[in-house]
Amino acid sequence: MTHLRNRCTRSVLIAGLLLGGATGPAQAQDSESGALQACLKAWGEHPFGPNPAYRTLATSVKVFGIGQGTADREVTPGPSLIMVNPGVNVMGGSEIELLNPNGWYCLRAAVNVMGGMDIKLHCGARLASASSGTTVMSGENAAKGVSVMGSIKVERVGCSSS
């Protein structure tokens, strides 16, 4: 049991270090602004202008599969810019649902240590990552997050079959 507890503690510490540690309000705002600009640049043409309004989707921390899931099921009438805060998954499975067909989702970071993280993205939505991604002893890393001995996958949902 001690071995398992030590392993979990190390995994959580690794996840914390990969996220960059604690930040104060000014650092968090600067980091969010930089992430938003990186996503806008990745999209190239977008309907939001130089200083766009956006909302933030908080994600959760899951350890051993325990923790809340994250979902954005709000459907907006027009383009909506959504900043997806860092998600952390340690030794388990995690799912993030980004289901607004008019959503332009900016993924700040996804950290996955020894588990699987699935992102379900509506077929009409757009997704950009603010980071280039890091993969260590891992499989697919489609979302360009940080994955250590795990995988991050993006699956399109809600696509018509015609």
The pLDDT tens digits for 97-150 are: 999 999 999 988 767 677 777 889 999 999 988 875 433 433 444 444 556 667
C-alpha–C-alpha distance, residues 17 and 21, integer Å = 6
Please check whether residue 76 is in contact with residue 85, taking contact to mean a CB–CB distance below 8 angstroms. no
For residue 152, the cross-strand partners are 117, 141
Please check whether residue 89 is in contact with residue 112, taking contact to mean a CB–CB distance below 8 angstroms. yes
What average pLDDT does range 73-88 have in this prediction? 90
For residue 113, the cross-strand partners are 90, 148
The pLDDT tens digits for 16-33 are: 333 333 333 333 456 678
Q: Which of 56, 115, 116 is nearest to 86 (CA)?
A: 56
Q: Which of 93, 111, 99, 110 is nearest to 71 (CA)?
A: 99
pTM of the predicted structure, to 2 decimals:
0.71
Q: Nearest 5°: phi and psi at 151?
A: -150, 155
